Structure 1
Amino acid sequence: MPDTLLATDADNPGTELWTRREIEQQPETLRATQQVLRARRAAIEAFVAPLLARPELRIVLTGAGTSAFIGECLAPWLSKLLGRCVEAIATTDIVSAPQYHLRRDTPTLLVSFGRSGNSPESLAAVELLDGHIAEAYHLVITCNAAGALAQRAGANSLVVMLPEATHDRGFAMTSSFSAMMLAALSILGGIDALDPRVPVIAAGVEGALAQAEAPAERLAERGFKRVVYLGSGVFTGLAREAALKMMELSDGAVVTCFDSALGFRHGPKTIVNAETLIVVFVANDPLVRLYDLDIVRELRRDGHSGEVIVVSAQPADGANITIPGMAQAADPDLLFPFIVPAQLLGLRVSQLLGLTPDNPNASGAVNRVVQGVRIHAAQA
């Protein structure tokens, strides 16, 4: 995707709209990501397989902001799949309080996610691990070969570079989020195991793009002041990412909240009023799904919110957006199509607010690559 090629909004000629393009390219970039992993399978398996064979190995998924939420989405599933505790700990937490998160005598694999790989905390987390843990390993999944994170990798490290198109130009991470998440799911869960599922996932994302466009337009035009995303299991992390997308793309004009289906009743439900939109991600897992549907029925019965939207792969759920062809899919595979409606809604709200989605914060208070971070020395 050359820098000279711009997507434009018909209502705002010349306005860069990388964000829309990057949302819409996700089926393609997911397929391309898996192709990259297949091509590097020998090197990846040579690095990962001996580590996963060690029962004492600790696995930490890390990143900042959206990159951290990848870990929050995947950690529950990977813990179950690998039969060990896989932890999601943000670089911002590791760097600010390493004494709570690093264990000197425990062999640790740090899986670092970075769109640009230039966030100060990303590099600092790697250096802290090397300085504070006797046996540290690094798996770097990034979209930018020139980034500091990719360039820093040395001994006991493997860098997995994703396709250039995943290095999102827009402020809000979209295709970089889904591509790095797919890469981690494939590498840690088995490239061969994920291979036959990628076409189904990509087709599900295509279906979500087609189905969610009109609802996103309608909901954006209603001008909700508050948006709540709810999800359980792997979808709690996704709800957090969805809430961030709305906050970023609206430049904070829309108040957002995220929670699990059960957790929402314990205080956060007070956010609900007539100006609140609630979006519920309904799991395929039979038990999780029961709790998701319970909160949907309760919220609709209460009638206090402006609207309750259901995103599901099950037609029987009476979903507003139903992901085609994924009724039998495992929940982590649904992460990819489920995030699409939230991305499209955030994009359209941004446009209706008169913002530039690729750079919604014109004041410069926040930046595509975080600035103003001072890294302080930590005691060994």
Structure 2
Amino acid sequence: MSGTIDAAPDAGAEATQREIWQQPRLWREVDAASAGAFLDPLLARPDLRIILTGAGTSAFAGGLLAPELTRSLRRRVDAVATTDLVSNPAAYLAEDLPTLLVSFARSGDSPESVAATALADQCLTEVHHLVVTCNADGQLAREHGTRANSHVLLMPAGSNDRSFAMTSSYTCMVLAAWSALAGPAPADALAEAGENVLKARDADAREIAARGYERIVYLGSGSLQSLARESALKVLELTAGDIVAYADSPLGFRHGPKSVLDAKTFAVVYLSDDPYTRRYDEDIALELRASLGVENVRVVAGRPSERLGSEGVWYVDGLDGASDVVLSLPFVLVAQMLALRFSLALGHTPDNPFPSGEVNRVVRGVTIYPAS
């Protein structure tokens, strides 16, 4: 299907549907090679600290990447949202270490995104900027495009989502940053896996959205906890808050948050491909099945699970041995489709679920104060 939608787009969802379905095609176009000359000498330095930053979905991109990059690079990698860094720079930039600040930004025009890079310049003696963005005309790209200590890594055309929610922008930025910092991902196999998920699971998403759930829970371990947070945000955004969405780790969920479960809850568990971590993910999936019923739980995994069997398990084939970051890209397509179908089932317009302007595509109304 290669990025096409089988049926005509629903009214009010044209952009959202196009941007979800185009992702496998865009993944084939992501090219991070231009960052090599900039990054190679920096990554050779053992004293380099890496900070991954962004706001909202862009922050979850950093949270997804940080644990797996720490493992891959065997160095310190911190995920700090711009919304935290800007309001508390002294807390997050207290150590004056040589730093690579990786900024994720769909538009590059959010006030916190621009302020975060300026604060890093102000607080640190030596900072280098990798700007991962979908908008060549955004303020971040313009400001850092000609600086010697910066490199702008631009995403493929079409990734700068026009719809309200970040979909293709998110996955392209994750893939580009992973390829630049950890090494190239298997683009063709990844795109094929994504195409198969889109083809196989949209009808399932429609059916689930029609059941009348009022709550949805996403769970994932390690990097996949940030994927769970992004997944919950998607359904919260596209349903304008009509669906209560919660995200956590499998172990953390039992410590109080499990109270969210009721008879109208649907749950999704992302299975890590790490054999050790996977045991905890399987445990919570079995526990949720016992409390909610198998029909109200879906497990998304990159390979079969003997403990869980096949019922209620959605497998993503063709990515054997891939990291959880790479697996997360076809995984998140499931969450995006569910959010879209829940939104439409509730009578919303996914392209603009807040027609009154209460919540905006690019955040407005933020006052940036000078740091002393």
1:320 corresponds to: 313
Q: Deviations over 1:321-374 (max 9, x none)?
A: 111222432222101010011100100111111111111111211100000000
- For the pair 1:362 / 2:363, whether they are aligned, the reply is no
1:127 corresponds to: 118
Q: Is the 8 A contact 2:32 2:177 kept in 1?
A: no
Aligned positions of 1:271-350 closer than 5 A: 271-303=260-292, 307-316=296-305, 317=308, 318=310, 319-350=312-343
TM-score (norm: length of structure 1)? 0.92
What SS does the corresponding residue of 1:311 show, helix, strand or coil? strand
Aligned positions of 1:196-211 closer than 5 A: 197-211=186-200
Which is worse superposed, 291-300 or 301-310? 301-310
Superposition CA RMSD, Å: 1.7
- For the pair 1:155 / 2:155, whether they are aligned, the reply is no
**In the aligned structure 1, how far is the partner of 2:281 from the partner of 2:36?**
37
Q: Is the 8 A contact 1:104 1:134 kept in 2?
A: no
**In the aligned structure 1, how far is the partner of 2:295 from the partner of 2:242?**
17
Q: CA deviation at 1:88?
A: 0.4
- For the pair 1:226 / 2:251, whether they are aligned, the reply is no
- For the pair 1:74 / 2:65, whether they are aligned, the reply is yes
1:4 corresponds to: none
Q: CA deviation at 1:234?
A: 1.2
Q: Is the 8 A contact 1:275 1:305 kept in 2?
A: no
Going from structure 1 to structure 2, the CA distance change for 1:226 and 1:158 (only over 3 Å counts) comes to same
Q: CA deviation at 1:155?
A: 3.1
**In the aligned structure 2, how far is the partner of 1:104 from the partner of 1:267?**
34
Picking from 3, 20, 32, the partner of 1:37 is 32
Q: Deviations over 1:79-131 (max 9, x none)?
A: 01111110000000000010100035211110000100000000000000111
2:178 corresponds to: 185
**In the aligned structure 2, how far is the partner of 1:295 from the partner of 1:92?**
31
Q: Is the 8 A contact 1:278 1:305 kept in 2?
A: no
Going from structure 1 to structure 2, the CA distance change for 1:104 and 1:259 (only over 3 Å counts) comes to closer
- For the pair 1:254 / 2:243, whether they are aligned, the reply is yes
Q: CA deviation at 1:305?
A: 8.9
What SS does the corresponding residue of 2:32 show, helix, strand or coil? helix
Q: Is the 8 A contact 1:240 1:259 kept in 2?
A: yes
Q: Is the 8 A contact 2:221 2:250 kept in 1?
A: yes
- For the pair 1:171 / 2:160, whether they are aligned, the reply is no
Q: Is the 8 A contact 1:261 1:292 kept in 2?
A: yes
Q: Is the 8 A contact 1:72 1:237 kept in 2?
A: yes
Q: Is the 8 A contact 1:276 1:305 kept in 2?
A: no
What SS does the corresponding residue of 1:168 show, helix, strand or coil? coil
Q: Is the 8 A contact 1:8 1:16 kept in 2?
A: no
**In the aligned structure 2, how far is the partner of 1:248 from the partner of 1:11?**
18
- For the pair 1:19 / 2:16, whether they are aligned, the reply is yes
Percent identity between the two aligned chains: 50
What SS does the corresponding residue of 1:292 show, helix, strand or coil? helix
Going from structure 1 to structure 2, the CA distance change for 1:372 and 1:305 (only over 3 Å counts) comes to farther
Q: Is the 8 A contact 1:227 1:254 kept in 2?
A: yes
- For the pair 1:50 / 2:41, whether they are aligned, the reply is yes
Q: CA deviation at 1:8?
A: 9.5
Q: CA deviation at 1:46?
A: 1.5
**In the aligned structure 2, how far is the partner of 1:313 from the partner of 1:373?**
40
Q: CA deviation at 1:303?
A: 3.5
Going from structure 1 to structure 2, the CA distance change for 1:290 and 1:104 (only over 3 Å counts) comes to closer
Going from structure 1 to structure 2, the CA distance change for 1:116 and 1:327 (only over 3 Å counts) comes to same
Q: Is the 8 A contact 1:171 1:357 kept in 2?
A: yes
Aligned length: 361
**In the aligned structure 2, how far is the partner of 1:188 from the partner of 1:131?**
25
**In the aligned structure 2, how far is the partner of 1:146 from the partner of 1:120?**
15
Unaligned segments of structure 1, at least 5 residues: 1-6
**In the aligned structure 1, how far is the partner of 2:171 from the partner of 2:277?**
23
Q: Is the 8 A contact 1:114 1:122 kept in 2?
A: yes
Which is worse superposed, 221-230 or 307-316? 307-316
1:85 corresponds to: 76
